[in-house]
Amino acid sequence: MASRTTKRMVLMLGLVVLLVAVLALVKFLQIKTLIANLPKPQPQVVSSIKAQSLEWQPQLEAVGSVVAVRGVDVASEIAGLVREVAFKSGQDVKAGAVLVQLNADSERAQLQQLQVAVELARTVLARDREQLAAQAIPQAQVDADAADLRAKEASVAQQSALLAKKTIRAPFAGRLGITTVNPGQFVNPGDRIVTLQTLDPVRVDFNVPQRAVAAIRVGQRVTLADDAGRTLEGRLSALSPKVDPATRNLQVEATAANPQAALLPGMFVRAAVDTGERQRYLTLPQTAITYNPYGATVFVIEPGAPPKVKQVFVTTGATRGDQVAVTSGIKEGDEVVTSGQVKLKNGTAVKIDNSVQPANSPNPTPQEK
């Protein structure tokens, strides 16, 4: 009886195990079918570029200010009433051009009076010399007449200089600014009338650190660029004979032709001084580099169907515009991902689409229109 009961229990246990196995097999087949029906991951779309060696000109960069070679605020030396304003704001003028005429009626009348006195003194001197020849008057009288003539001529010269100051002229050629002086206005000595700036050529003053002093010299080529992307080529024209002890910087001056008046006094510009010999660097766009706390990396595309990516560490060097020099980690000709790195990891399949490429210019300009 006990033996029969044991056989039944073994049979029931076997049936339970068989049922569990069948259920597990069915579930396994269901999961396998489900996995087989899942959509396969598609290759990630990226852009790429082949690393290439380019020649770079080593440059020392700084920010400077544009200064006119000649610039001044024209002012009156003497007080007077403005009779005529002989220029328009923003006008280009030549050296000596009349800008403002002050009322000079009284000064001109006084000059005429002094000139009449000179003529009289000259006549008296000539007559007294004739009388001296006839021994009718002493030599002292002739000497007094000559001294009187010279004094009156000096008065005429003084009055002529005063009269000339009533005509305010451009001290040099350049472009005038905007004035608020109008006819009928009274000006005092030193009152600003208008600014006058020579715009071609222009100077740019900037500072370089003392460690760069050995690399710069007068005559080196300088590229000047403003924030609108306009550039001018110039040369270093002067170096300060001392380093500022407060900043340890050396003041430098560059001069550049400015025929289109692209740069105006007071503007800030970026100055790049060419230093040393040209060098070759393996370069990539800045967007190709992923900077992490543990180092800089790039994704290199490995040939295949489809191609896949491999993440490698690189060492970066100098930068130039949108480009960065890579000193180790890749070699020339390697195809590197330039955009779309966020969705990549080692072994990810990719599809290359270079219809749109990130910026890769050594001299980038603003893209806004």
The predicted model gives 169-190 an average pLDDT of 88
The two tokens of residue 262 are 């692209």
pLDDT tens profile 258-269: 888 888 888 888
Share the mean pLDDT of the chain. 84
DSSP letter string, 202-256: EEEEEEEEGGGGGG--TT-EEEEE-TTS-EEEEEEEEEEEEEETTTTEEEEEEEE
Contact assessment for residue 89 and residue 177, using Cβ atoms and an 8 Å cutoff = yes
pLDDT tens profile 114-159: 888 888 888 888 887 878 777 777 888 878 878 888 988 898 888 8
* Percent with pLDDT over 70 in the chain: 95
In the chain, CATH 1.10.287 covers: 104-165
The two tokens of residue 360 are 């890769």
Q: Does the structure show a pLDDT above 70 at 340?
A: yes
Q: What's the fold here for domain 60-69+198-274? A: Elongation Factor Tu (Ef-tu); domain 3 (2.40.30)
pLDDT tens profile 199-237: 888 899 999 888 888 888 898 888 888 887 788 888 998
Q: Does the structure show a pLDDT above 50 at 175?
A: yes
Cβ neighbourhood burial of 365 (10 Å; 0-12, 13-18, 19+): middle
Which residue matches tokens 């393996």? 282
Half-sphere exposure of 229 (CA within 13 A, CB side): 10
**Higher confidence at residue 125 or residue 241?**
241
In the chain, CATH 2.40.30.170 covers: 60-69+198-274
Contact assessment for residue 192 and residue 65, using Cβ atoms and an 8 Å cutoff = no
Query: What is the assigned CATH class of domain 104-165?
Result: mainly alpha
Of the candidate ranges 35-39, 69-73, 305-309, 340-344, the one whose mean pLDDT is the lowest: 35-39
Give me the phi and psi of 85, to 5 degrees please.
-105, 110
In the chain, CATH 2.40.420.20 covers: 45-55+279-352
Per-residue pLDDT band at 299 (split at 50, 70, 90): very high
Is domain 45-55+279-352 classified as CATH 3.30.9.10?
no
Question: Phi/psi class of residue 70: alpha, beta or left (left: φ > 0; alpha: ψ in -120 to 50)?
Answer: beta
Give the whole-angstrom CA distance, residue 335 versus residue 109.
88
- State the alpha helices, DSSP H only, in the chain: 2-37, 105-133, 139-164
Amino acid at 197: Q
Amino acid at 303: P
